[in-house]
């Protein structure tokens, strides 16, 4: 999965950090491509954890905040920025993937490429 995400990032020329966590939000794998800002490491990890903790893509929280629902910001572990996606197999969350380093929509494209590589 991380290799699939990395391939997409390299193809696009996007310097990102890619994090994969298990179903408990524990880090399994971390890639940091050349030129990636150091702050993106924590961003990728926290996006992947948030996707697992709340069983949904982090984009859903970004959308809720855009609607003015700021109360969600009080939820521990919540990252309301696109780029984190839960990994669901046989209707169970088995982990998450998070990407950080470019625009959030681009982070999400990379994360989705990683998930797609797993599901092939």
For the domain that residue 74 is a member of, what is the CATH number?
3.30.450.150
Query: What's the CA gap between 17 and 71, in Å, rounded?
Result: 28
Structural domain containing residue 79? 2-119
pLDDT tens per residue across span 62-100: 999 999 999 999 999 999 999 999 999 999 999 999 999
Domain count, the chain: 1
Query: What's the CA gap between 27 and 23, in Å, rounded?
Result: 10
Total-model pTM = 0.95
Reading the block at residue 35, the tokens are 């030129």
The residues, any chain, with a CB within 8 Å of residue 58's CB and separated by 6 or more, are 47, 50, 51, 79, 80, 81, 82, 83, 84, 85, 98
Average pLDDT taken over every residue of the chain: 97
């Amino acid at each position: 999965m991380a290799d699939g995400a990395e391939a997409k990032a390299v193809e696009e020329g996007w310097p990102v950090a890619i994090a994969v966590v298990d179903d408990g939000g524990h880090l399994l794998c971390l890639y940091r491509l050349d030129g990636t800002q150091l702050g993106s490491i924590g961003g990728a990890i926290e996006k992947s954890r948030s996707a697992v903790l709340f069983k949904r893509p982090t984009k859903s929280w970004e959308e809720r905040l855009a609607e003015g629902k700021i109360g969600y910001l009080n939820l521990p572990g919540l990252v309301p920025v696109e780029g984190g996606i839960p990994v669901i197999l046989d209707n169970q969350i088995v982990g998450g993937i998070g990407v950080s380093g470019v625009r959030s929509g681009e982070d999400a494209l990379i994360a989705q490429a990683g998930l797609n590589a797993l599901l092939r």
